[in-house]
Amino acid sequence: MNFAQPFQKFQDWITQQWVIISGKQIAPEDASWLMGPFGKLGFIADDFVKKLAEDENLIIERNSTSHGLVSSFEELELSEESYALLSEDVKDFYEKTGQYNLNLRVTWNPLFRILGKLVNTLFSRRIKQLNVPTDSLENSNEITSEIITLRESNSQEVKYVIWYRTFGSSGKVLYSGIYSTCTLPSRKTCVKAVFPLPNGNATVIMSPTVEEDGEFILNSSGRRFGDPGFYFLLVDSKDQYWSRYIRSFRDKLTINSRGGKILAKQTLSLWHLRVLTFHYNIQIKN
- Which of 203, 196, 195, 133 has the alpha carbon at shortest distance from 170? 133
Residue 180 main-chain phi, psi, to 5 deg: -165, -175
Helices (H), the chain: 10-22, 47-56, 80-85, 88-95, 113-119, 125-127
Q: Domain locations in the chain?
A: 10-284
Report pLDDT for 255: 96
In tens digits, what is the pLDDT along the chain, a chain of 286 residues? 899 899 888 888 999 999 999 999 999 999 999 999 998 866 565 678 888 899 999 999 998 888 899 989 999 999 999 999 998 999 999 999 999 989 988 888 888 878 777 766 655 555 566 667 666 555 568 888 899 999 998 898 999 999 998 887 777 777 888 999 999 999 999 999 998 888 999 999 999 999 988 899 999 999 999 999 999 999 999 999 999 999 999 999 999 998 778 999 999 999 999 999 999 999 988 7
Cβ 100 vs Cβ 283: under 8 Å: yes
- Which of 170, 162, 176 has the alpha carbon at shortest distance from 128? 176
Report pLDDT for 126: 56
In angstroms, the CA 279 to CA 286 distance is 21
In angstroms, the CA 53 to CA 154 distance is 14
Model-level pTM greater than 0.85?
Answer: yes
DSSP 194-232: EEEEBTEEEEEEEEEEE-TT--EEEE---SSTTSSEEEE
